[in-house]
Amino acid sequence: MMTPTQAKNITYLYDRFIESDAKGWNALDDYMELLGFLDNDQLYREAEVLYSHQKNKKMGCPYLHSEGTVCFVVRILEAVEAITDLYKETSSLHPKNRYILENYLALCQDQQIISLEP
């Protein structure tokens, strides 16, 4: 089960991704369209494998943030962990959680989530 903090983070991310989607078509949408062909189990496996490689690395985005600003990627990775853990328990993927996993994979594919380690 998810904690209230995890659920709040997922709601926040979902709203941000929906807000971003309303701005028009971009490269991420091309990746998202392809990910739409995967069933829930395939999508979970893709996200789980990628996350397992990233979880012990320092991850971020290619943008420079001002000091004290937490990179959005941190929140995404926290959500991915919570969603994949929930999927392991329930074998069920809520459409909003699926949307977050699709965005995570698309952002990685588009090199917007990267390893900050040399």
* Residues 1-51 pLDDT 10s: 899 999 999 999 999 999 988 887 788 889 999 999 999 999 999 999 999
Instruction: Look over the chain and give the mean of its residue pLDDT values, rounded to a whole number.
Output: 92
User: Residue 102 has what pLDDT?
Assistant: 97
When pLDDT is cut at 50, 70 and 90, the band that residue 67 belongs to is confident
The pLDDT > 70 percentage for the chain reads 99
| Beta-ladder partners of 114 | 60
Task: Provide the domain limits for residue 102.
Answer: 4-17+25-115
In the numeric block, the tokens 């996200």 are attached to: 47
How many domains is the chain partitioned into structurally?
1
CA distance to 43, 58, 66, 98, per residue, from 102 (Å) = 7, 21, 28, 6
